[in-house]
Chains A and B, each alone.
Chain A
Amino acid sequence: MLKKISISKISELAAALMDKGLLLAPVKEISGHNFVEIKDPKQVDLDFHNTIASPKAAFFPHKEDFIKYETGKPIDTASVVALNLPPTFLFGARPCDVKSFGIMDIHFIASGIVDPFWKQRREAAVIFGYAFDLEKPAQPEEFYQTLGIGAADPEGSDIFMVKKGGDLLLNSVTPKGEKILTELKILNEGKAADKKYYDEYIKKGKEYKTRSMCLEPGAITKKLEDLFQNTDFWNRVSSACISCGVCTFVCPTCYCFDICDDTLFGHGTRRRVWDACMFTDFTLEASGHNPRTHVYQRLRQKINHKYSYHVRKYGVISCVGCGRCTKYCPVNIDIYSIIEDAMKA
């Protein structure tokens, strides 16, 4: 089903979605756009290339409370935090980011050990994918084409949106999306010309140029396995790395977390917080031993996890090529160049 709305009326659409539940949409902040829970429909701003942080926080928040307890009381007085999620609309996620949810699903659901928080959040959400603007060139850091992701891939979204001049075309991809589209009375019916434009746009999106190389999951896995012991190689690519957590925190497919207890005057919360394999204390054991003390070991872990271990375990590369890690790296380490180097090595 294809519907359309004028972009100038976007805040009305946002208001309609807010009536139905929670709306997460890009908002212009001082330093760039970010997905934010919308309080005022006028905040929604679709004039962005991509957000600073990936939308993974919609399903995997930076801080997730699990259990509340009182210190010194018996364990049965502790209570599990219930989510009670309203329908959530993730509005305007780019195709590469939408793809990342599928990759994270493998880890959090399909691997057999189900993460209830991720699952509930995923089920409550309707994803409005939003194609990149094909008229504008890709950012230098992006490389989703390498990973076989087009700039206008509707796959993974419930509703996929494409900009047509001053209009926004919304097409349902899943039955869930179709239901929402029928319910939104504010939308106009799409005409045959719109349908044609939409189909062509999706097709054109496949050819949208970002940095790209031929990357076959099996080949890169093999290559990285061979390179594992090559300390010189890893030392060279990681020589600039300062071990901060920017790359992992902005990454749409990084899912490592730390479980911690925070107590305040006897009231405790057990929660999970994002952690980053780049931090020195990530692998620090209680004994004081740390198996990854060097920078190169940590960067090697990150690259291998995404391009080798994940492929070996689940058969997919755990990277969508959004380029955020490269863009926000304080010392401009480029994951694409490392993979390129690895393939050549």
Chain B
Amino acid sequence: MTDFRQIENNLKKEAKRLLEAGEVAVVLAYGRGYDEKHPMPFAAKTIADVESLVFNEYCNFNMASYLMRYPWGTKIAIAAKAADSRAIIQLVQEEKVRREDLVILGIPAYGMKNQKTNEVVDSKTTGGLYNPVIYDILLGEEIHGQKIVSPYEVLAEYEAMDKEERWAFWKSQMDKCIRCYACRKACPMCYCDPCFIDQNKPRWADKAPQSPGNMMYHLTRFHHLAGRCIDCGECSRACPVDIPLYLFHKKVAKECEEMFGQAAGMKLEDKPVLVDFRVEDSDKILE
């Protein structure tokens, strides 16, 4: 496995080359934050900017979130870890970005850390992949031989819960929500403008952070991300009150994969499962 410093150097080298050759207008990657542990997403537009690029184990943020800020036709190079690459595929499927506009700088990364807890980010909170699913240029060696753990393994404990217990769990979690909407803003798949929760007509839920409104917001958001969530875990990492949103997203993703036989963001030619159907879908899924 290539170490993070080497990846950083490769990233700088490629960014410099692409910008110099005029192949891209912007390189979306990570830049210096206020300290080593807090790198910031950064858009390098000039060769001078390239020196500010960094990559280390705290570069978790899903860069695909920034892709839609640029109009079609802007050539963009994007640093993509495993989850970021899945988000890119999903966005291409949804025709939000065009594959031909992108130069994907794939980053195989193992041992990324959550800056808040210092825990290693693994299949517990994310999809648990190490290698980008799609890339044009790989910035390090592919990682093989790591133990593959199903991202759905963590669900077993919650699925085994009694429904009353599970309701109590989710209610206590949702009651914490302060409705800062960091989850939807950190999510690369949440791009609706306006979001259903900001609508006044119809007004789906209260604006106040109280139980019914919180429940409505989160349940509907889980639904909107069904078959689209690429399990990057950014919603939960962004959450200031640590609601384990990833659990619910994982569950919905798991059900979608079981029912429709397709995981989100794995192949460019797929269609998102809920804007697709098969005549031979079984009515059993409704039971």
Contacts and interface: CB of A to CB of B under 8 A. Distances in A.
A258 B207 contact: yes
Contacts of A330: 61, 182, 185-186, 234, 237-238
Contacts of B238: 244, 246, 330
A333 interface: yes
A243 B40 contact: no
B37 to A, nearest CB: 8
A248 B193 CA distance: 21
A62 B180 CA distance: 11
B59 to A, nearest CB: 10
Contacts of B182: 242, 244-246, 330
Interface in B27-48: 31, 33-35, 37-43
Given A31-B242, A246-B238, A337 B34 contact: yes
B198 interface: yes
A239 B186 contact: no
A250 B42 contact: no
A292 interface: no
Contact of A273 (B41, B185, B208, B241): B208
B60 to A, nearest CB: 9
Interface of B: 31, 33-35, 37-43, 61, 65, 115, 176, 178-182, 184-186, 193-194, 198, 206-210, 234, 237-238, 240-242
Given A31-B242, A53-B178, A242-B65, 17 more contacts: A31-B240, A62-B208, A239-B43, A242-B182, A244-B180, A244-B185, A244-B238, A246-B182, A249-B178, A262-B208, A271-B208, A273-B208, A279-B181, A331-B41, A332-B33, A333-B40, A334-B38
30 contacts: A30-B242, A31-B240, A52-B240, A62-B178, A63-B209, A239-B43, A242-B65, A242-B185, A243-B185, A244-B180, A244-B186, A246-B240, A248-B180, A258-B207, A260-B206, A260-B208, A271-B208, A273-B209, A276-B180, A280-B194, A281-B194, A281-B198, A326-B34, A328-B240, A330-B186, A330-B238, A331-B40, A331-B61, A332-B33, A334-B38
Interface of A: 29-32, 52-53, 62-63, 140-141, 239-240, 242-246, 248-250, 258, 260, 262, 271, 273, 276, 279-281, 326, 328, 330-334, 336-337
